[in-house]
Amino acid sequence: MSAGEKAKPRQILLSKRANVFYLDHVKVSVKDERVVYLTEEGEIGRFFNIPERNTVFILLGKGSSITDAAARRLAESNIVFGFVGNGGSPLFSSIDYVFLSPQSEYRPTEYMQAWIKMWINEESRLSVAKTFFEKRLRWTIESWSALPFLKKADIVLSEPEIDYSIKKAHSAPDTERLMSVEAEWAKSLYAKMARGFNISGFTRNEGQGKKETLIDVANSYLDHGNYIAYGYAASALNVLGISFALPVMHGKTRRGALVFDVADLYKDAITLPFSFQAAKDNERDQEFRDELIDHYQSKMVMDDIIETIKKTIS
């Protein structure tokens, strides 16, 4: 390093980073060599620091903007960020750092290459989709059994239920049949949650943005929590350098579909129960976000996703 050249701080592994941000009505910029966001309260503006080298991803909500300098700094720190609607959904746009990454950084290409070798074979894709589905179910029963508020609501999953769905999934001859098994599984979970939290007549409606009834509130939190889950999934794929455009289960024409496949690994396990609890307890959005993100971090979700993908393609 030449004289006078500033040493860059050491990067924290993405899987070990502590911060996830949802920000609305802010301007993200660089000030005094720091990434900050500016909020305006009346005629007074206040700056808050974003510790970009210890941040996983950032969701920018309504009324938010970002400068080119801040975007460049976030890229250098390998942070996925995107613009979302009110409350964290829907996702309008995001940066895909699998292809838009600083050209001075070097990451392994082995995972992307291995994923492509698997992906081009239809039989291999189906096998990975089934492996993901089994992991999803195993993680759900493990997570639910450890959540006190689910025990209190008498919401339980049994091993026979899990084994039945896994058996049906493994016997599916194609992706379409596997998707129908998934739909049946998801429907049964919603029914358990609605019954346990006494939210009668619940149906899953995405992207409504309403909070007129308890059903609306539950759907709103599910939308909100799912987009936080998508952030973790996108960040994990970013770490491994695998394109979002190579899904194994979701729509083959949606470029970001692999993000949905990966997020499904743990949405049922974490997002679903916390969303229903927040709706029943009439929590504020910020309370819900804090609880959800804290739980994701405590369960080391990023590490688990990364290891699951590595094992799947090894």
Furthest CA-CA distance within the chain: 69
List the domains of the chain with CATH numbers.
14-94 (3.100.10.20), 110-313 (1.20.120.920)
Measuring CA to CA, which residue among 181, 204, 231 is closest to residue 58?
231
pLDDT attached to residue 33:
86
pTM: 0.75
Q: Rounded to whole angstroms, how far apart are CA atoms 264 and 280?
A: 23
pLDDT attached to residue 265:
94
* 73 in Cβ contact with 33 (< 8 Å): no
Element (H, E) at 124: helix 122-144
Q: Rounded to whole angstroms, how far apart are CA atoms 252 and 247?
A: 7
pLDDT attached to residue 80:
80
Burial class (CB in 10 A: 0-12, 13-18, 19+), 311: exposed
Question: DSSP label at 269?
Answer: I
Chain length of the chain: 314
pLDDT attached to residue 98:
42
* 265 in Cβ contact with 132 (< 8 Å): yes
Residues in the chain where the model's pLDDT stays below 70: 1-15, 41-44, 87-107, 207-209, 252-255
pLDDT attached to residue 89:
57
Q: Rounded to whole angstroms, how far apart are CA atoms 87 and 131?
A: 32
pLDDT attached to residue 94:
54
* 246 in Cβ contact with 313 (< 8 Å): no
Q: Rounded to whole angstroms, how far apart are CA atoms 196 and 214?
A: 14
At 188, which amino acid appears? S
For β-strands 27-31 and 91-94, DSSP reports them as unpaired
